[in-house]
Amino acid sequence: MRRNLRIILAFVFFLIMSQYGWTRHIIGGDLQYECLGDGLYRITMKIYRDCRQQDEIAAPFDGDSDGTTGAFISVYRGTRSYQLISSFATPLRSQSSIDPPDYPCLIPPDNLCVEEGIYRFEFQITDWPSSESYFFVYQRCCRNNTISNIVTPGNIGATYAIEITPDAQANCNNSPGFNSFPPTVVCVGADIDFDHSALDQEGDSLVYSFCFPLQGGGLRGLGPNTGGANDCDGIRPNPPCAPPFSQVSFSGGYSAQRPMAGDPIVTINRQTGLISGSPQIIGQFVVGVCVQEYRAGVLLSETKRDFQFNVADCDPTVLAKVKSDAQLGNKEYVINSCGNNTIKFENESILEQYIDTYRWDFDIRGTSTVVNTRDAEITFPGIGTYRGLMMVNPGLDCGDTAEIFVNLYPSITADFEFAYDTCRAGPTDFKDKSSTGADRIVSWSWDFGEGGTSNSMNPSYIYPIPGLHVVSLSVTDDNECEDTQTYPLPYYPVPALIVVAPSSFLGCSPGNIFFNNLSAPIDSTYTIEWDFGDGSTTFALSPTHSFVDPGVFNVSVSITSPIGCFISASYPNWIEVRESPTAEFSYFPEIPSNFNPSVDFTNLSSNYIKQQWFFGAVGRSLERDPSFTFPDTGTYDVSLIAIHENGCTDTSTQTLDVLPRVTYHMPNAFTPNGDGKNDLFSGQGYTSGMQDFEMTIWSRWGELLFLSENPEQGWDGSKQNSGDALPVGVYVYQVRYIDPRGEPHHLKGFATLVR
């Protein structure tokens, strides 16, 4: 079943890949004919394909590397109804790449690939000249599914056909041939000037127009050779279907005569075939061009080509750009200078390899100042606004110009001073001393160096931590000129007030107290000395101290800053530690078990008046020396709380393990004689909780005679307790099991069989 599923999945994958691999690639084509005389015609067909290999597999030309014999051609004769005269496959004669356009001032994308395939064959019209037209038809799916101006482009193909009319046959006429293929990419917003003219050997009059591209082929039929044979909706109709041919459906806003958006609109000149306009939308657009051939006012032929215009965003070869403070428009740059009349202009124009010359031109009070280097340095006479131009490749076809506005403003200077008590912590007062040549300073931005900020003109700030703080002030005037000043501020005062938590303590010994020094500003660079009143001292910032003996204690602390400032505080009778009892107990038996779960407890506490017992979560007692029976095996945390007459307590906790024991004892002989006494050889004992039990009986020669995994089952003196009785004698037994705590046990001995 799995193998069949793999085959089905592989087949589906082949179909999907075939569909993509044999479809989306057609981007244009046309047919033309030559009259060789006596009804013999040479037909030339040119097909164009998208050969990119990115998101989709690029399909080859018919008859290239796709395993087919060539392009399927059908020949029809008729006027209103059409008869299939012939159908055949014509081989691919040549294949070549079409170079991308070389625009002088723009760089088109390089991810496009277009190839031209040429098919050529000869055909004899037997009833030449005929009173009916002959049609040569090729149909193929599909177009690129990213085309913008037609409906469902990825599901339809194209029809390329040409008609040899009775008049053309009578005159042995040659159809006109287009001179060149349109550019593979055109740039959005740039002018199109493409000569789509054709050459006619006889010099007949040619009239050009946009016309409907023709639809042909579809997604029916997936393989390269099946091709939807005899099916007009197939990928490769064989034979291609007869006229009349369906036209493509244009999307909203587009038509055969207006196939592209543009400003000006994209059009074709009827006399010259020149396609002009400026496309404004990026995308892919199918365009149909028809050229009608007239001789003495009589229409001899119509040659139709459709092709795909790729409109893309192209990079300019040169772009004028200047490093600036602001940009007003696309190429308008603003440079502001405060108090400095000499400006160094930095040129950021690209691409340098396409730039030959630079030109800076400033109008300075009616006089033109010109600099011809890439960067420029210009000194302006004074405060004001100056306008200039920066040009790259001036006077050449590929040039560009940037407009520059220079605003020269009066200077601005940031400055400030500060004042504070260097030895006792308090506010630091800052005073702005900045100045400007403008009307006024409009904003202040203070950074106090340790995270604090302010936007006030003259702020006051209390530093929470000591240290060397770097203070900066940035000021901005009404011209948006800005300056910054920075000064160091050494800040090492002692706190204005010593604050310690807790503010008092009353507790039982030992009194373990954390003295949290909340005084500010202090850090590890300060010298801090504590005296706890019990003979102990420390220099820790916020110490933890244990008062072991009961009593009332005075605590003092002093703080000295790195620059020698000093403050101290004393707290008389701050700590009171009361006497505590000592809890202690013993118990018997020391190793209780499921055979003996009752335990006697003895209270060994001192300096107490009452007690509380907690036997894990299964019981409690207020007795002095209680006894307690544990309901199950396992570990229990037993706690004794001794209580002093002043309310202080002490707790002693011990973990008791009530062991789950098993016992198993083996006899040394048995008499399997059927008298109901000692007929089985089996162990005796307490087996609850026993795991992985196994008992085996062996002969003296190593033969296994009996095996049991049930401790309640005994051996009756025969093989596996079935069959003939074994002879009287001595046999070997082995017993293995694991007790409830996971410990393995192994018993080995002799079993004497007596009858």
**CATH number, span 669-753:** 2.60.40
pLDDT band (50, 70, 90) for residue 3: very low
Residue 2 pLDDT exceeds 60:
no
Would you say 47 and 119 are in contact if contact means Cβ atoms under 8 Å apart?
yes
Nearest alpha carbon to residue 258 among 275, 271, 242, 244 = 275
Q: What is the pLDDT of residues 304-350, one digit of tens each?
A: 999 999 999 998 999 999 999 999 888 899 999 999 999 999 999 99
What's the pLDDT score for residue 222?
52
Q: What is the pLDDT of residues 533-577, one digit of tens each?
A: 999 999 999 999 999 999 999 999 999 999 999 999 999 999 999
What's the pLDDT score for residue 67?
60
Q: Which two tokens stand for residue 737?
A: 């099991």
What's the pLDDT score for residue 226?
43
- Calpha distance 720→330 (Å, rounded): 102
What's the pLDDT score for residue 481?
96
Q: What is the pLDDT of residues 695-706, one digit of tens each?
A: 999 998 889 999
pLDDT band (50, 70, 90) for residue 161: very high
What's the pLDDT score for residue 223?
47
What's the pLDDT score for residue 221?
63
Which CATH number fits the domain 412-491, given the four candidates 2.60.40.10, 3.40.30.10, 3.10.20.30, 3.40.1030.10? Answer: 2.60.40.10
CATH top-level class of 585-658: mainly beta
pLDDT band (50, 70, 90) for residue 55: very low
Q: Which two tokens stand for residue 659?
A: 């062991």
Distances (CA, A) of 343 to 302, 328, 382, 392: 67, 19, 12, 20
Token look-up 């003092």 returns: 556
- Calpha distance 647→152 (Å, rounded): 92
What's the pLDDT score for residue 675?
87
pLDDT band (50, 70, 90) for residue 66: low
- Mean pLDDT value of segment 580-585: 96
Residue 110 pLDDT exceeds 70:
yes
- Calpha distance 377→337 (Å, rounded): 13
Residue 57 pLDDT exceeds 70:
no
Q: Which two tokens stand for residue 371?
A: 């600099």
Stated pTM of the model: 0.55
Residue 147 bridge partners (DSSP): 284
Q: Give the CA diameter of the chain.
A: 142
- Calpha distance 30→582 (Å, rounded): 110
Q: What is the pLDDT of residues 602-619, one digit of tens each?
A: 999 999 999 999 999 999
Burial per residue of 566-595, b for 16 or more beta-carbon CB atoms within 10 angstroms, e otherwise: ebeeebeebbebbebbebebebeeeebebe
What's the pLDDT score for residue 503?
82
Residue 165 pLDDT exceeds 70:
yes
What's the pLDDT score for residue 65?
66
CATH top-level class of 500-578: mainly beta
Distances (CA, A) of 284 to 145, 194, 308, 379, 521: 10, 17, 6, 52, 71
317-409 and 500-578 share one fold? yes
What's the pLDDT score for residue 4?
40
Q: What is the pLDDT of residues 398-448, one digit of tens each?
A: 999 999 999 999 999 999 999 999 999 999 999 999 999 999 999 999 999
Structural domain boundaries in the chain: 20-312, 317-409, 412-491, 500-578, 585-658, 669-753
pLDDT band (50, 70, 90) for residue 6: very low
What's the pLDDT score for residue 19?
35
Going by their DSSP bridges, the two strands 441-447 and 416-419 should be labelled as unpaired
- Calpha distance 406→164 (Å, rounded): 71
Q: What is the pLDDT of residues 704-730, one digit of tens each?
A: 999 999 999 999 999 999 878 899 999
Q: Which two tokens stand for residue 536?
A: 């102990």
Residue 24 pLDDT exceeds 60:
no
Q: What is the pLDDT of residues 116-151, one digit of tens each?
A: 999 999 999 999 999 999 999 999 998 988 899 999
Q: What is the pLDDT of residues 171-226, one digit of tens each?
A: 999 999 999 999 989 999 999 999 999 999 999 999 999 999 999 988 876 544 44
What's the pLDDT score for residue 215?
94
Sequential DSSP letters for 169-181: HHTT----EES-P
Q: Which two tokens stand for residue 612?
A: 């509380």
Going by their DSSP bridges, the two strands 400-409 and 332-338 should be labelled as parallel
Mean pLDDT taken over the chain: 91
Which CATH number fits the domain 317-409, given the four candidates 3.20.20.140, 1.10.287.3510, 2.60.40.10, 2.130.10.10? Answer: 2.60.40.10
Residue 270 pLDDT exceeds 80:
yes
Q: Which two tokens stand for residue 194?
A: 């493409």
Q: What is the pLDDT of residues 630-680, one digit of tens each?
A: 999 999 999 999 999 999 999 999 999 999 999 899 999 999 988 888 999
Nearest alpha carbon to residue 459 among 474, 470, 469, 444 = 444
